[in-house]
Amino acid sequence: MCKNSPSRIRKTNSRGIAVALVLAVFSQLPESVGAQVGEPQKRSLLFQRDAQQDFISIAGLKVAVWQPQALKQPAPLVIFSHGFHGRNTQSSFLMTAMAKAGYLVMAPDHDDANTLGKPAAMRSEVAFKQADCWSETTYKKRGQDIENLLAALHKDPNWSKRIDWPKVALCGHSLGGYTVLGLAGAWSSWKIPEVKAVLALSPYCEPFIAHDTFGGIKIPVMYQGGTRDFGITPSVKRRDGAFAKTGSPSYFVEFEKMGHLGWTGFNQNANQQDLIDFYSIAFLDKYLKGDKSISLDDKRQGVAELTCK
């Protein structure tokens, strides 16, 4: 049983209940949403195949891959971690945009993925409303998936030669955001030194706030949230939240009228997708490709808040 002061538990629970309700949306997805790509049946737009997308099996994982067209030289690598009960193709519009911008993008299915023939664990390892009870052991397997994927890519001559290894970034949505922040150093035992930047899209970050571990992150981070993402964005933007506790350089972008699933294929708002693509790729271009000409203080229409430090 997790031991915490009653006052701290009450504070964490009040925030965590909202988070749990939001993340539980993924567990309510219909079975057809988890259908294998290519099956001749109606599926959610969340999992429709893109022309640039492929699948590989590596490191014991099913991995979705988006490659830059006419790849003639090693490309920067971005690894994406999906949300609780999401899956590797849940954010295809963003992955496709990254590939078109010259990035090799890979996204593994974690054990909690909602896929046909592979029922996901219906409950989280530790309740989302009990953030104080989360530790470096909570969802450690997710972090190991990415660590194992990187190791396997290094060893595979076919893939290793396609990757510009000094340029590796992580991107994650929701529980995937928790995963990549942990790998960035928020959980010290998870830290992967070769990761150079992190995109955290509506990340579940209450455990790191509760344990005050953001000091372990020494690389650039961009947080993204939405004005209708009531369960998670407040924990990023509040005075004692994730952004405030993260060192420089870091960024917080909040999109107008966007909820928690705004970074998935459930969001068919082209303007919102374009904004997500723009800020995500600008951040990667600046900190992965080293484009010093890029300024990330351009607050575009549709952005409610943009804060840089």
In contact, 23 and 84? CB cutoff 8 Å: yes
CB neighbours of 12 closer than 8 A, spacing ≥ 6?
4, 129, 130, 131, 132, 206, 210
Tokens of 292: 């010093």
Question: pLDDT 10s digit of each residue in the chain, 309 long?
Answer: 675 544 444 444 445 545 544 555 554 443 333 322 222 233 344 444 454 689 999 999 999 999 998 777 999 999 999 999 999 999 999 999 999 999 999 999 999 998 755 555 568 999 999 999 999 999 999 999 999 999 999 999 999 999 999 999 999 999 999 999 999 999 999 999 999 999 999 999 999 999 999 999 999 999 999 999 999 999 999 999 999 999 999 999 999 999 999 999 999 999 999 999 999 999 999 999 999 999 999 999 999 999 999
Cα–Cα nearest to 273, from 218, 226, 211 = 226
As a whole number of angstroms, the distance between CA 224 and CA 276 comes to 8
Domain ranges of the chain: 22-33+42-308
Q: Which CATH number fits domain 22-33+42-308: 3.40.50.1820, 3.20.20.80, 3.10.180.10, 3.60.15.10?
A: 3.40.50.1820
Distance CA 47, CA 45 (A): 5
Note the pTM of the prediction, 2 decimals: 0.88
Query: What integer pLDDT is reported at residue 21 of this predicted model?
Result: 47
